Amino acid sequence: MVSRLGRARPCALGLFRIVVGLLFTCHGVASLFGVLGRPTLSAGAWPGWYAAVIQLVGGALVLFGLGTRTAAFVGSGSMAFAYFDVHQRAGLLPVQNGGEAAVLFCWTLLLLVFSGPGVPAVDRLPVFRGAGRKSAEARQEQHLGVPA
C-alpha cells in the first residue's frame, strides 16, 4: 500500500499544485478585473494592486508548473506580507481578522517551494530540464519507480 502511495506522490503533488495555482490566479483575476464578486482595484494602488498582479502572474506560473519554486516563493511572501500588514491589524488570529486565505496560501505555496511542481509541469519538459541532466526530483522518482 505504501509503495503505491509513494509512486502516486508526484501525480498527487501535481494536482495539488494545479488547484492551488488556479485558486491563486482566480484571486488575482477577481481583484484586477472586478469579477467574481470583487471590486476592481485602482491600477498601482499599494499594496492591493501589486498583490493582485503577483497572484495573477504567480498563480498562472504555479498552475502550469513553470518556474514553480520561484513563483511559489514570491506568492508565499506576498501572502505573509498581506497577513501581517493588512489582516493582523484587525485581530491576532486568522479567524478573527479574515486572514485565513492569506495564511493558507502562504503555507501551501511555501510547501511547493520545497516539494517542487510534481507532474505534469512545464518545468519537467526536456526543453526546460537541459540535455542529459536529471533533476534531483527525477532521480528520486526513478528510485520510487515512477515513470518520468
Instruction: Tell me the pLDDT tens digit for each residue of 76-98.
Output: 999 999 999 999 999 989 999 99
What is the count of structural domains for the chain? 1
> 65 lies in which domain range?
2-144
pLDDT the model gives residue 132: 47
Tens-place pLDDT, residues 39-52: 888 888 888 999 99
3-state secondary structure the chain: CHHHHHHHHHHHHHHHHHHHHHHHHHHHHHHHHCCCCCCCCCCCCCCHHHHHHHHHHHHHHHHHCCCHHHHHHHHHHHHHHHHHHHHHHHCCCHHHHCCHHHHHHHHHHHHHHHHCCCCCCHHHCHHHHCCCCCCHHHHHHHHHCCCC
Compute the mean pLDDT over every residue in the chain, rounded to the nearest whole number: 88
